[in-house]
């Protein structure tokens, strides 16, 4: 399993959000992409980038327009987070609806 994983749940439909493209970026002077994947039928990305990352600031960028449809209110959701322990697993779930989202540090 990679160091960073995610899970997208469609709270409006009450099911996993399958087929959402997700990108993992790292921040140095600017943002650079480390890895990209798409949520599976369970709304999960279990393999997103390396199994080790240095301490620093990262972000997950979710292409929600490809899931919610063209003209949606939230065409993209970005969740920035900090890794302080390079050995710890970081799970970042997103609860998504057509007009809102929430996130938390999962386990």
Give the pLDDT confidence of 92-106 residue by residue, as tens digits. 999 999 999 999 999
Which pLDDT score is estimated for 7?
97
- Those residues of the chain that have pLDDT short of 50 are none
Which pLDDT score is estimated for 62?
98
Q: Are strands 21-27 and 31-38 parallel, antiparallel or unpaired?
A: antiparallel
What residues form the annotated binding site?
Answer: 7, 44, 104
Report pTM. 0.95
Beta bridge partners of 26: 32, 58
What residues form the annotated binding site for substrate?
Answer: 7, 44, 104
Percent of the chain clearing pLDDT 70 (strictly above)? 100
Can you tell me the distance from the alpha carbon of 20 to that of 27, in angstroms, rounded to the nearest whole number? Answer: 22
Q: What is the CATH number of domain 4-103?
A: 2.60.40.180
- Residue 19 near residue 39, CB atoms below 8 Å: yes
Can you tell me the distance from the alpha carbon of 75 to that of 57, in angstroms, rounded to the nearest whole number? Answer: 23
Structure tokens at 76: 């993209």
């Amino acid at each position: 399993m990679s160091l960073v994983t995610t899970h997208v749940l469609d709270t409006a439909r009450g099911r996993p959000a399958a087929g959402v493209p997700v990108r993992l970026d790292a921040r140095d002077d600017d943002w650079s992409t480390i890895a990209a994947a798409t949520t599976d039928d369970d709304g999960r990305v279990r393999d997103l980038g390396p199994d080790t990352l240095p301490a620093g600031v990262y972000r997950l960028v979710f292409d929600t327009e490809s899931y919610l449809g063209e003209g949606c209110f939230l065409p993209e959701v970005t969740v920035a987070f900090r890794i302080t322990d390079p050995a710890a697993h970081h799970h970042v779930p997103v609860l998504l609806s057509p007009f809102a989202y929430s996130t938390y540090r999962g386990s």
